[in-house]
Amino acid sequence: MTVHIGAEPGQIAECVLMPGDPLRAQWAAETFLENAECVNRVRGMLGFTGTWKGNRVTIHGSGMGMPSLSIYANELIRDYGARTLIRIGSCGAMQDRIAVRDVIVAMTASTLSTPSRGFFREVNFAPCADYGLLRAAVAAAEARGTPVHVGGIYSSDVFYDERPDLTEMMTRHGVLGVEMEAAELYTVAARHGARALAVLTVSDHLLTHEALPSDQRERSFGDMVEIALEAAFG
């Protein structure tokens, strides 16, 4: 047990999928895993371990933002032996060619700052995905016929951003979408020699202002979960 995770030794799998919302973790575990068991309830951050096609996997919430994600990623790797961590979440699209419901597989994650910034001081560390996971996720998406985009994303420190100039700059430089966690996940994984990837469903569009209706979110998010699982074990 750790300060933030109440699982006993051996209850966390080496592969962990990390949605931000703990209730989405519960939904994904109940929908896609066999014999899913709740292994963490500390602070309401739910975690479940079960099997997918005979492979042990944990689905554990990360909370919103990089500071929260950093806590769980560090403890999952350091104290529970997690070696593959895949963020499954939503993002806002920043390019015209990307549509709502498409999937973005994040190759890199730019950011203004992360909880790990103090480690690097003057160095601008470039957080990137594990290539093997990335390649497998793209192959899984293409096999399913899911529209998929691969490239850089932006991990924001804030949800209510008041920097339209920043959005314009990111868009001009080809950034595919914005979310709030991946850059720190990639950094923590790199520090501990683990594999990391972010597979993201486009839930809204910053340019067109289109948003995914709530009744369609589960089906679209389901594609993302299966892509992540195929990437981890395919």
Query: What is the C-alpha separation between 101 and 219, in angstroms, rounded?
Result: 9
161 is in an annotated binding site: no
21/23 Cα distance (integer angstroms): 5
User: In the 8-state DSSP scheme, what is residue 122?
Assistant: T
Catalytic residue among 21, 79, 157, 204: 204
Q: Please name the residues in contact with 192: beta carbons below 8 A apart, sequence gap of 6 or more.
A: 74, 77, 78
4 marked among binding-site residues = yes
Roughly what angle, to the nearest 10 degrees, separates helices 22-32 and 214-233?
Answer: 70
> Is 89 labeled as ligand-binding?
yes
Name residues whose C-beta falls within 8 Å of residue 151's C-beta, 6 or more positions apart in sequence: 104, 106, 107, 108, 174, 175, 176
Residue 204 a catalytic site member: yes
- 88 in a labelled binding site: yes
Judge whether 203 is annotated as a binding position: yes
87 annotated to a ligand binding site: yes
Distances (CA, A) of 117 to 20, 184, 196, 220: 21, 9, 18, 33
Q: Is 214 annotated as a binding residue?
A: no
State yes or no: 44 annotated in a binding site. Answer: no
Q: Is 45 annotated as a binding residue?
A: no
**Cα–Cα distance list, 61 to 16, 28, 147, 191 (Å):** 10, 11, 26, 21
CA distance 116 to 121: 9
User: Which residue, among 90, 128, 125, has the nearest Cα to 106 in the 3D structure?
Assistant: 128
Task: Summarize the annotated binding site as residue ranges.
Answer: 4, 20, 24, 43, 87-90, 179-181, 203-204
Task: Summarize the annotated binding site for phosphate as residue ranges.
Answer: 20, 24, 43, 87-90
Task: Summarize the annotated binding site for a purine D-ribonucleoside as residue ranges.
Answer: 4, 179-181, 203-204
Catalytic positions, written as ranges: 204
